[in-house]
Structure 1
Amino acid sequence: MFAGVLLLVNGLLSVFNGIAGIAEDDVYARLGDYVFKFDVTTWGWIHLVVGILLAVVGWGILSDAGWARALGIALAAIAIVVNFLWLPYAPIWAIVSIAISTFVIWALCTDTPDPTAV
């Protein structure tokens, strides 16, 4: 349940982050020169899509769907990479999101599902 709630919250916050990036190009400021230069609108769309996927998988984990566990681990790993590349635009939020995704991976990898549960 911990991983599902974290994925759902991280996904919804990423959706809001994406909407902010799409709506206004000057919401986020870039710090210095950075190798991974994308337009803020492009980053907004990336965060929107990843956020929707995270929220759906988080809901799947809370619904105890069989497909959601492995997909949750994979999407949390993708979210870590996306937020690492997002560091120059929103460093504190990117670090928080990386930490949340790390906890999701930890929770999903260490949980042992009960085979007798229906």
Structure 2
Amino acid sequence: MAVRKLEKSEWEEYFNNFDKKYREGQIPAKEVQIEIVNDEIGDQVETWWQPLVGLAYDPKDDEFEVAAERHDHLIHKPAEIYVDEDVDGSIKTVEVVQEDGTKHIIKLRTPEALPEK
């Protein structure tokens, strides 16, 4: 599939649906990596691959949250959200853009299976 922009009115429901399917095991386990890109710092990896706990948008506080096993990343007042979905509908990448142009690139992948002994 292609990258698509989510309208702000979709954010809460879209990520609630993802989270529900993820918790119920309808979406396989994912690992997450978070990169931040802006003019001042350039492109920085904030957290390397680790197990994803969930993704959420809270309209009351106007915050997008990425919860990982050892890291919680909050994005205050997002202006735009783009998703890149796989053919099965699972998310490959979420890009959250703040008003100042800072981009938070959230990459998801299915962890590699350990070799059998």
TM-score range, shorter chain: 0.3 to 0.5
More helix by share: 1
Q: Work out which of the two has the higher radius of gyration on C-alpha atoms and give 1 or 2.
A: 1
Question: What is the TM-score when the length of structure 1 is the normalising length?
Answer: 0.34
User: Which gives a bigger RCO, structure 1 or 2 (Cα 8 Å, sep 6+)?
Assistant: 1
Question: What is the TM-score when the length of structure 2 is the normalising length?
Answer: 0.34
